[in-house]
Structure 1
């Protein structure tokens, strides 16, 4: 079996595993979902999906910003194809499949593999750091298990997150990592402007996903009166649960861990069955958005002849194998 055929089989397998995981999660928790699903109107479901789609799109823009600063300025079409198709790799156990798939696809566009790999790891790191930053209020809810509000001592974590976003430190970490694995250094270093833009984009990503969660949470709560605790838990709980879920590398896309954490956080403001329903429906929406984005990115790039077999053939003999 050729290498290209193996990669094709792998991508199809990823898609099938993704759909199976969604079906399994919904079926296993159908009793909780069925009670509260009727409270979510189609308009709420649509707006929540649009918010999740906006967050997913901005994640790609943040990744593209880093890749451009490192020397490869891809058009939105191939960037969408590379990023979104590669993102399906996160649904396999382990956190680095998406980076490996993205590096392989981008190599067809003559982007050095190590550059794409470094970009993917940077994007993961910045998403994780900003997720913890946005999720600091939710950490208070998770620790105390009561809606006691935000504990200000958690602000002590902000300086550490800021330090991790200093370009000089990031460049030193990248150079050290490449030396350890005996690879050539990158042609370009990260600039302060690119890091700042990426951090702001990832912060905005979490805001959109917070809105996505809040819309669902308010719907299942069934109470039209404002609930500050629910707003705080929903707007920050998704970022914290996903960030902690990313650390469970043996689980595909943090499956189970993310839902459990989000349920715990939301249950400080709404009944636990309602919180569980929000977590499960959120997973369903986000996964479908990922699959549709991957399909759309691939079709868009192919229809504009930006990823073709000719590119792959031309790259075979000159492919960068440094990563």
Structure 2
């Protein structure tokens, strides 16, 4: 079953990459791209990249809280540096190099392997939950986004959003310790215990808020970039934020391409279809990819510098 799911995921990813490549080859206009590369757009691109890069310190803060629940105490600055220097590894095929590098650096400095595994798993679950909350909520808040939906879907969002939000918030408040779950007669609950249990509201809710803030931060940067590039006004802040959050989620569920290259672009084009011409949408997704890649480079350079300085201080 797992093999079938993995194969299906790769097929979906390949289809999205193929769709994006076809879309790009059909609508790429070098003149339009050249017109976008003006000083104001380039300046805003740097600002958007810095906003994207800022999600790493936020994630480092959340990771510190998750580690604290496992009895581990680490400086947020060091955790942020570890996250920053391993981001570029996600551009390697397989999408696991960044996690392997992160685990390797952390364990080399004395972090328990179990703590790394548990907190990365909890981070993934909370980040997925945050992407759902932000994506669906922002889509419901966007008039251009709602206009794209079939008439029957719009009223559904009116009750889906609060139910989703309340459900995630409720689950985030539940505290089930590994020790308590270890004695459960249910195998699923024992497995949950081995995965770290449920950390409870004191740990989960701030981390969930941090991951949700990350999507809002990225969306804000991309919206500023769209305005600077004079792309259609229908690409408003809620819609761009929703599209990025949902494309991250769907790209996560359909792995295969390094850093989601082509996959997330294909999803973005599908989600934004109808709010601009094909050429304008292509320009936006290319600018969005340039933003995230530049942000990853900025993080790598700053993280490498920080780790180098802290090693020298330790010596």
Distance 1:185 1:160, change over 3 A: closer
Q: Show the counterpart of 2:253.
A: 247
Cα gap change, 1:251 to 1:162, in 2 (>3 Å)? farther
Choose from 183, 187, 205 the match for 1:196.
205
Shift of residue 142, structure 1, vs aligned partner:
7.6
Unaligned stretches of 5+ residues in structure 1: 1-24, 311-323
SS of the aligned residue for 1:135 comes to helix
Residue 165 of structure 1 aligns to a residue whose secondary structure is helix
Residue aligning to 2:222: 213
Q: How does 1:26-45 map to 2 (within 5 A)?
A: 31-32=28-29, 34-36=31-33, 38-39=35-36, 41=40, 42-45=42-45
Deviates more, 1:119-128 or 1:54-63: 54-63
- Which of the numbers 166, 177, 200 marks the counterpart of 2:173? 166
Structure 2 residue 244 is the aligned partner of structure 1 residue 238: yes
Task: Indicate how the Cα distance of structure 1 residues 171 and 134 shifts in structure 2: closer, same or farther if over 3 A, else same.
Answer: farther
Distance 1:78 1:109 in 2: 11
Alpha-carbon separation, structure 2, partners of 1:254 and 1:296: 23
Task: Give secondary structure in 1 for the equivalent of 2:199.
Answer: coil
Q: Distance in 2 between matches of 1:174 and 1:57?
A: 32
Partner of 2:8: none
Rounded to whole Å, the distance in 1 between the matches of 2:89 and 2:176 is 28
Change (3 A) 1:294 1:50: closer
Taking the TM superposition and a 5 Å limit, the aligned residue runs for 1:1-323 are 31-32=28-29, 34-36=31-33, 38-39=35-36, 41=40, 42-137=42-137, 145=148, 151-155=157-161, 156-168=163-175, 190-222=199-231, 227=233, 230-305=236-311
Residue 169 of structure 1: CA displacement?
5.6
Change (3 A) 1:275 1:184: closer
* TM-score computed with the length of structure 2 as normaliser: 0.73
Shift of 1:231: 2.9
RMSD: 3.8
2:213, 2:112 → 1: CA distance? 29
Confirm or deny: 8 A CA contact 1:58 1:205 kept in the other structure.
yes
Alpha-carbon offset, residue 232 of structure 1: 2.5
Which runs of 4 or more aligned residues in structure 1 lie more than 4 Å from their structure 2 counterparts after TM superposition? Answer: 137-144, 146-150, 169-181, 183-186
Superposition deviation, residue 135 in structure 1: 0.6
Q: Distance in 1 between matches of 2:33 and 2:147?
A: 26
Measure the CA separation in 1 of the matches of 2:134 and 2:106: 31
Q: Which stretches in structure 2 are left out of the alignment for 5+ residues?
A: 1-20
Deviations 1:227-272 (A, max 9, x none): 4663321122111111111112222222212111222333332222
The two structures have a TM-score, normalised by structure 1, of 0.71
How far is 1:130 from its partner? Answer: 0.3
Conserved? CA contact 1:237–1:266, under 8 Å: yes
Q: Secondary structure at the match of 1:111?
A: coil
CA distance in 2, matches of 1:301, 1:146: 47
User: Deviations 1:158-212 (Å, cap 9, x if unpaired)?
Assistant: 344334423426969997789659x9786x9734212111111111111111112
